Chains A and B, each alone.
Chain A
Amino acid sequence: MNGHPSSRLLWFISGSIGLITLPHAWHVPPLLIGFFGLAWLWRLLAISRPDWLPNRLALFGLTLAGIGLVYSQHRGIFGRDAGTALFVVALGLKLLEIQGKRDVYVIVYLAFIVAATQFLYEESILMALYIVLVCAVLLATLITQNSVSPQTVPALKTAATLILQSLPIAMVLFVLFPRLEAPRWSWLDADNQAKSGLSDTLEPGSITELSLSPELVFRVKFDGDLPPPAQRYWRGPVYSLFDGSAWKAAPALFRAANPDQPTFSGKTYDYTLLMEPQKQNWVFALELPSAFSAGLRRNELYQLTTNKDPGDRAEYRISSTPVYNTGDINPAESRENLQLPGKPSEQIRDLIAQLRGGETSPEVLIANLMQHFHRENFRYTLNPEPMPERPVDTFLFERRAGFCSHYATAFVYLLRAAEIPARVVGGYQGGRFNTLGGFLEIRQADAHAWAEVWLDGKGWVRFDPTAAIAPERIEQSVNVDLQIASGALNFSPIQLDAKTLTWLQRSRQLWQNVDYQWQRWVINYDTANQQALLQSLGIDDFVKLGYWLVLSVGGLGGLLAWRLLRPNRRRRDPVLLAYRQFCDKLRQAGVDFGPGDGPQTLAQRAKIARPDLADPIERIAAVFIRLRYEPCTAAEDLQVLKTLVRGLRV
């Protein structure tokens, strides 16, 4: 047992270590993963040729090289990336030095740590399943190590059994174990990866990029009815500064606080919003949020922001009321929303005069402008030709082809030129409904831009000029897959009827639902979730939590112990089993007998009730008596009995 590990054990170790490190190949620098790969190959080759392994001196040199490599790639050994790389390199080096039992344990424990670091990069359900499978192989390695005559399949089976038996307790611990908010240490922080999404500048091109991204932005589960598609505006950043080609959000510093709070009326929608990791701390609430969970803030632009790290997935409870009145506008805000880069052109002023038709009411102008877009051959396209010079004029009078941000830009520009406060709002529109999970999925491809106009007595009112050109964009959601496949915009009706879904769509919805639940209940289970759950269970202090932990873990452990440790049951007597089958058949045949009747009595009664079966019944009774009550019986008799009973047709 001691001394050098067997080659079976080495295969087990190399296999499981290879599997555990494989997913790291996508984010550990190639140089380091190459270093590990070489060590791994070396180990694999050395299984049959142990003399090829490096000696102490060479190993020391390799260790120095490994540390040097980690340092050169990461400038340190702390933090997520450097730490992960360090463990991967250590694992590779340790592979080359497996002398005795102790080294096997060290390497398996290192592998478990590497498995955990994998979760810092990917938290999907598939990755979790993969890691659990590899953990089974790691456990099988330990089992092989501790068996006298190891066998591969029983070791793997035992490992799988161990994991399955452990899962219930692990889940109870997961739910009940107190989650504490960790302090954020900058040196341990994950490096922010580039994430797509809306930015605080709106250039016409930026939304096109998003339109081709199937990346999930957030998911929403409504408590009651869904809002109709035309009301599904998920409000994000508000852009009020225009430089002629791009929009910017006004810096908060100069923003005047609006004394008026919005007033709400009509139906309110309550929902849970699960945000995916983002760059910005914006939360895209349904227009307009009237109540929301702690940690969220509604700014003067009625946009929700979070004080949590937007790089983490987070869940929020929000109520929105689509009918609202934001009240009065103050002079500073009015000025801000009338800003224009330079003077509008003659052509634009003519257009405004034409659209006004002598009326002064902004509503008339807006209605006419929408009509204008609708009538004058404007087109909706995701691939408009670039308009570098005077984009608004070019768009309005020459090209007449663009997408939401072009229309919103032109719309707001015209209104501002007509001295009506207006601004562009970014966000998402629509979303795909998952019928199985009952939630809406909003993807980057649903990114949208629209306009808001301040009207006297109504406050800020939403207008979506895109609806005038491509109402299907608003009424029907974007068909993300088609759009991405063709690189152009596509709409398809939302299929709410589950019967018309193909099995492929249905299984995809099922999968997305599983993923949603996984994100909500596993990945996103945090202090707040836990407190809510524990409170609903009536656990409000640590003492009670302690009781619950001890009782549930103890209870599950006791149950498992009872299952595992009860004495081995004897095998049921096959003779009695066959006889019982025989009795059942007779009962079916309508023979009346009591539980105390012996085989002979039974046979007598059966023969009277079913004279047609007299012969087989008699034979069965005879064989049974012989098997059961004679000291020495031939082994074939049991077979005869079974065949006879099976052959008995009642």
Chain B
Amino acid sequence: MNTAALSLPDRFRLSRFFLGEAPAAGPITLGHRRIFILPTQRGLGFVLLILLLLLIGFVYSNNLAYLLGFLLASIFFVAILHSFKALAGLIVRAGRQPAVFAGQAGAFNFQISNPGRLSRFAVQLHLQTELTISLAPAETQTATLYQATVRRGWLQPQTLTVSSLYPLGLFRAWAPLRFDSPLLVYPKPAKRQLPFPQSDDGAVAEGQSRRQGDEFYGLRPYQRGDAIRQIHWKTFAKGQGVFSKQYAGAGSSELWLDYQQAPGHNREERLSQLCRWIIDAEKAGLRYGLVLPNLRLQPDTGAAHYRQCLQALALF
């Protein structure tokens, strides 16, 4: 885009004023470079009030009305410093962001610490959702804010605006912060429940039948990676420990999910379909492998494998 083609308001919108500094990977301490302060509408109302008081003082030659006007004007001025103080020194860092499927709201975690001896009575955090918190001295809080996801891939958080109206609401102090703390967005799973693709060894039919037949043959102690669906809740409820249900033939055959074989008109639809299959296969406790044009993941099951497959789809 040509900068000259940008209108002034557009350029203004893109300036440091609103976007803030370059995205940061580490924690950000709010200081005078980060914090902006402007009067709010109520602040402008307050200015009108001051003018009215001075007018009363003028018309009636009343020095105390003048004095009250000057006191409020001075409070207006001092309120700027307090607005700055409401944010200054806060340390914000982006936390670990869990991956989501496209279309779900992406949850971004931010840690806000308040060093020093001052309480912060109202700190407002705004991403696409808003949250207002108060922080005691030396307190650290984690705030989760949401942002809509549309496309698969890495999603950087938008500008996080930390703002405050404290103490009088006459000024809004705000700090636009950008973090380099992307969240992984998996493709949006296809809605249609298509049957699993045919494998070379004809395992699909088996897999399907087992999934529907539920030929339960026993329990084994829970292992990391077992699907939640497999957990045998009855024994857990009796306090005998966590066991996973084993299905006959589970693990005996392998399901290959191949990009080339996935139905769809374009790449996104195919990835979407693959995503749906991976979810279903994981839920069913099947062993599944993924074949992408540039990548081949050996069949396996469990959370780690599941994440690996979805990440491969997300970043394809």
Query: Is the pair A166, B53 in contact by a Cβ cutoff of 8 Å?
Result: no
Q: Contacts of B49 on A, CB cut-off 8 Å?
A: 109, 112-113
With contact pairs A162-B75, A166-B71, A560-B78 given, residues A119 and B62 touching in the complex (Cβ less than 8 Å): yes
Q: Contacts of B133 on A, CB cut-off 8 Å?
A: 148
Asked whether any CB of chain B lies closer than 8 Å to the CB of A564, the reply is: yes
A523 CA / B63 CA spacing, docked (Å) = 6
How far in angstroms is the closest Cβ of chain A from B250? 52
Query: Is the pair A188, B60 in contact by a Cβ cutoff of 8 Å?
Result: yes
Binding stretch for chain B, among A174-182, A475-483, A595-603, A638-646: A174-182
Query: Is the pair A146, B74 in contact by a Cβ cutoff of 8 Å?
Result: no
Query: Is the pair B167, A80 in contact by a Cβ cutoff of 8 Å?
Result: no
How far in angstroms is the closest Cβ of chain B from A128? 6
Q: Contacts of A96 on B, CB cut-off 8 Å?
A: none
Interface residues of B in 68-101 (CB under 8 A from A): 68-75, 77-79, 81-82, 84-85, 88-89
Contact mask for chain A residues 164-198; partner B; CB cutoff 8 A; 1 contact, 0 none = 01111111011001011110010010100000000
Query: Is the pair B81, A523 in contact by a Cβ cutoff of 8 Å?
Result: no
Asked whether any CB of chain B lies closer than 8 Å to the CB of A453, the reply is: no
Query: Is the pair B45, A123 in contact by a Cβ cutoff of 8 Å?
Result: no
With contact pairs A169-B77, A561-B81, A565-B81 given, residues A112 and B72 touching in the complex (Cβ less than 8 Å): yes
Query: Is the pair A131, B89 in contact by a Cβ cutoff of 8 Å?
Result: no
Asked whether any CB of chain A lies closer than 8 Å to the CB of B65, the reply is: yes
With contact pairs A112-B68, A163-B71, A565-B81 given, residues A143 and B167 touching in the complex (Cβ less than 8 Å): yes
Binding stretch for chain A, among B110-118, B222-230, B254-262, B304-312: B110-118
Contact mask for chain A residues 561-575; partner B; CB cutoff 8 A; 1 contact, 0 none = 100110110000000
Q: Contacts of A148 on B, CB cut-off 8 Å?
A: 121-122, 132-134
A249 CA / B74 CA spacing, docked (Å) = 51
How far in angstroms is the closest Cβ of chain B from A428? 26
Query: Is the pair A177, B64 in contact by a Cβ cutoff of 8 Å?
Result: no
With contact pairs A169-B78, A174-B66, A561-B81 given, residues A146 and B71 touching in the complex (Cβ less than 8 Å): no
Contact mask for chain A residues 360-402; partner B; CB cutoff 8 A; 1 contact, 0 none = 0000000000000000000000000000000000000000000
Contact residue among A147, A174, A312 (Cβ-Cβ distance under 8 Å from B166): A147
Query: Is the pair A182, B63 in contact by a Cβ cutoff of 8 Å?
Result: no
Contact residue among A119, A135, A147, A149 (Cβ-Cβ distance under 8 Å from B65): A119
Query: Is the pair B81, A145 in contact by a Cβ cutoff of 8 Å?
Result: no
How far in angstroms is the closest Cβ of chain A from B61? 5
Contact residue among A128, A182, A561 (Cβ-Cβ distance under 8 Å from B61): A182
Query: Is the pair B60, A190 in contact by a Cβ cutoff of 8 Å?
Result: yes
Query: Is the pair B75, A567 in contact by a Cβ cutoff of 8 Å?
Result: no
Query: Is the pair A139, B53 in contact by a Cβ cutoff of 8 Å?
Result: no
Asked whether any CB of chain A lies closer than 8 Å to the CB of B146, the reply is: no
How far in angstroms is the closest Cβ of chain A from B80? 9
With contact pairs A165-B78, A560-B78 given, residues A116 and B166 touching in the complex (Cβ less than 8 Å): no
Contact residue among A102, A142, A180 (Cβ-Cβ distance under 8 Å from B168): A142
Asked whether any CB of chain A lies closer than 8 Å to the CB of B46, the reply is: yes
Contact mask for chain A residues 1-37; partner B; CB cutoff 8 A; 1 contact, 0 none = 1000000000000000000000000000000000000
Asked whether any CB of chain B lies closer than 8 Å to the CB of A154, the reply is: yes
Asked whether any CB of chain B lies closer than 8 Å to the CB of A522, the reply is: yes
Query: Is the pair B167, A146 in contact by a Cβ cutoff of 8 Å?
Result: yes
Q: Contacts of A557 on B, CB cut-off 8 Å?
A: 77-78, 81
The chain A residue sitting closest to B76, CB to CB, is: A166
Query: Is the pair A526, B61 in contact by a Cβ cutoff of 8 Å?
Result: yes
Asked whether any CB of chain B lies closer than 8 Å to the CB of A115, the reply is: yes
Q: Contacts of B67 on A, CB cut-off 8 Å?
A: 128, 170, 174, 522
- Interface residue SS majority, chain A: helix
Query: Is the pair B71, A135 in contact by a Cβ cutoff of 8 Å?
Result: yes
Asked whether any CB of chain B lies closer than 8 Å to the CB of A120, the reply is: yes
With contact pairs A105-B45, A148-B132, A174-B66 given, residues A312 and B89 touching in the complex (Cβ less than 8 Å): no
Contact residue among B65, B77, B169 (Cβ-Cβ distance under 8 Å from A142): B169
Asked whether any CB of chain A lies closer than 8 Å to the CB of B42, the reply is: yes
Query: Is the pair A188, B75 in contact by a Cβ cutoff of 8 Å?
Result: no
Query: Is the pair B70, A146 in contact by a Cβ cutoff of 8 Å?
Result: no
How far in angstroms is the closest Cβ of chain A from B216? 52
Contact residue among A1, A177, A185, A523 (Cβ-Cβ distance under 8 Å from B70): A177
Contact residue among B52, B53, B74, B167 (Cβ-Cβ distance under 8 Å from A158): B167
Query: Is the pair A143, B52 in contact by a Cβ cutoff of 8 Å?
Result: no
Query: Is the pair B70, A170 in contact by a Cβ cutoff of 8 Å?
Result: yes
Asked whether any CB of chain B lies closer than 8 Å to the CB of A117, the reply is: yes
Asked whether any CB of chain B lies closer than 8 Å to the CB of A42, the reply is: no
Contact residue among A146, A185, A553 (Cβ-Cβ distance under 8 Å from B169): A146
Q: Contacts of B62 on A, CB cut-off 8 Å?
A: 116, 119-120, 123
Query: Is the pair A149, B81 in contact by a Cβ cutoff of 8 Å?
Result: no
A contact residues, range: 35 or more
A312 CA / B75 CA spacing, docked (Å) = 29
Asked whether any CB of chain B lies closer than 8 Å to the CB of A525, the reply is: yes
How far in angstroms is the closest Cβ of chain B from A152? 13
Query: Is the pair B59, A162 in contact by a Cβ cutoff of 8 Å?
Result: no
Interface residues of B in 46-61 (CB under 8 A from A): 46, 49, 52-53, 56-61
Query: Is the pair A146, B165 in contact by a Cβ cutoff of 8 Å?
Result: yes
Asked whether any CB of chain A lies closer than 8 Å to the CB of B119, the reply is: yes
A173 CA / B82 CA spacing, docked (Å) = 20
Q: Contacts of B115 on A, CB cut-off 8 Å?
A: 568
Q: Contacts of A166 on B, CB cut-off 8 Å?
A: 71, 74-75, 77-78
Contact residue among A80, A119, A147, A174 (Cβ-Cβ distance under 8 Å from B134): A147
Query: Is the pair A116, B78 in contact by a Cβ cutoff of 8 Å?
Result: no
Query: Is the pair B168, A143 in contact by a Cβ cutoff of 8 Å?
Result: yes
The chain A residue sitting closest to B120, CB to CB, is: A148
With contact pairs A115-B68, A123-B62 given, residues A173 and B73 touching in the complex (Cβ less than 8 Å): yes
Contact residue among A132, A190, A524, A565 (Cβ-Cβ distance under 8 Å from B84): A565
Query: Is the pair A169, B74 in contact by a Cβ cutoff of 8 Å?
Result: yes
Contact residue among A147, A182, A312, A561 (Cβ-Cβ distance under 8 Å from B122): A147
Interface residues of A in 133-159 (CB under 8 A from B): 135, 139, 142-143, 145-150, 154, 158
Query: Is the pair B53, A113 in contact by a Cβ cutoff of 8 Å?
Result: yes
Q: Contacts of A190 on B, CB cut-off 8 Å?
A: 60
With contact pairs A109-B46, A143-B168, A170-B73 given, residues A116 and B56 touching in the complex (Cβ less than 8 Å): yes
Interface pairs A-B: 10 shortest CB-CB: A568-B116, A166-B74, A119-B64, A169-B74, A147-B121, A173-B70, A170-B74, A148-B134, A170-B71, A170-B70
Can you list 5 contacts pairing A with B, beta carbon distance less than 8 Å?
Answer: A116-B62, A135-B71, A139-B168, A142-B167, A565-B88
| A interface residues (Cβ-Cβ under 8 A, vs B) | 1, 80, 101-102, 105, 109, 112-113, 115-117, 119-120, 123, 128, 131-132, 135, 139, 142-143, 145-150, 154, 158, 162-163, 165-171, 173-174, 177, 179-182, 185, 188, 190, 312, 522-526, 553, 557, 560-561, 564-565, 567-568
- 11 additional A-B pairs beyond A139-B167, A165-B78, beta carbons within 8 Å, are A112-B72, A120-B60, A142-B169, A148-B134, A149-B134, A170-B74, A174-B67, A182-B61, A185-B59, A557-B78, A568-B117
